[in-house]
Chain A
Amino acid sequence: MARRDYLGNFELMVMLALMRLGENAYGVPISKEIEERTGREVVLGSVYATLERLAEKGLVSSDLGESTAERGGRAKRYFRVTPKGLREVRHAQAALKKLWQGLPQLEGGSV
């Protein structure tokens, strides 16, 4: 069986946030999306570190956008999931679904 690097927990969160945000996926909304949906504070530096790692693996790509005064004249960097990235997310989803199936502890929602 070929060795496969699975997406880490936070990597998967970032990928899913990118997919949800579509065209508007840059640092601020990505971290907000993860914060709102997981309820935990996100360090922007960790989002960027993860995005750089994902870009090295070819799972995301990025483009420079417009710079605005409220950003101190610095440009936004928009990220998007590549076809390879989408395949990886689908694979992770399938693997997690299989792992979640048939676990009595997770059924019913009590405790």
Chain B
Amino acid sequence: MRTSNPPIVATWLLERLYTGEKSESLIGDLVECYSHGRSGAWYWRQVLAAIALSFCKEVRGHIFLAIRAVVTGWLAFFMFRFISFGMLSRFHLWLHLYHKVPLLFVGYAAAPLTFLPWALVWIASGWFLASHHRPHSAFMLLAFSGSVLLWNLQGLPWTIHLLFEAMSNPRFVPQLAFDLMELTLPPICIAFGGLLAGLSKTSPSAQEKQHVT
């Protein structure tokens, strides 16, 4: 029997994002299997599948809530993008005019600077969505993150093409890293924004049951 703990991040995600009712028993079962020799990859696969399954079940039962999450999330995103990038471009212009800072960041070295404002916008959107839908913020954040991921998947064929190119030619690696970052950054930032607002684990179904009893 193995004594080491299962992947902490995976358990942490399951505790917060699994919307089923019996999450404690499920985590206990997974930990038991892990302690009997199952691999970390198996544990991660089980955790992600459990979150996806419970989320799909909630969406089927609360389609209008899911639509509201997607619409509110995107509205928040456009609002924060307008605020931050409007302010940023003016600040940038001010730096250029009074301090002779070049107007454009060019090259991959500036990638973190390019991503930073976007990350802040996604974080703010996640925070806004979670703080305005506290009773079931985990569900709302997952629905919004899912819509963002789906939207970003339009660039997946190009990313796959880059992956094959990068295998034979290392000069494509920075562009590949940039694309992968663009794909994965929004959901991570949305989740982080949600955490800042204080994630509530209660699912819409569980809340309905509380109202009934």
> Residues on A close to B: CB < 8 A?
26-28, 31, 43-46, 48-49, 51-52, 62, 64, 67-68, 70-72, 74-77
Contacts and interface: CB of A to CB of B under 8 A. Distances in A.
B39 interface: no
Given A43-B49, A43-B50, A70-B1, A48 B22 contact: yes
Nearest to B21: A52
Contact of B20 (A49, A68, A75, A76): A49
B123 to A, nearest CB: 28
Chain B binding surface SS class: helix
Given A27-B25, A27-B26, A27-B29, A45 B50 contact: yes
B74 to A, nearest CB: 28
Nearest to A31: B29
Contact of B32 (A51, A71, A77): A71
Nearest to B52: A45
Given A43-B53, A44-B46, A71 B21 contact: no
Contacts of A76: 25, 28-29
Q: In this complex, which of A44, A45, A46, A67 has the most chain B Cβ atoms within 10 angstroms of its Cβ?
A: A45
Contacts of B46: 43-45
Contacts of A48: 20, 22, 25-26, 50
A43 B53 CA distance: 10
B57 interface: yes
B29 A26 contact: yes
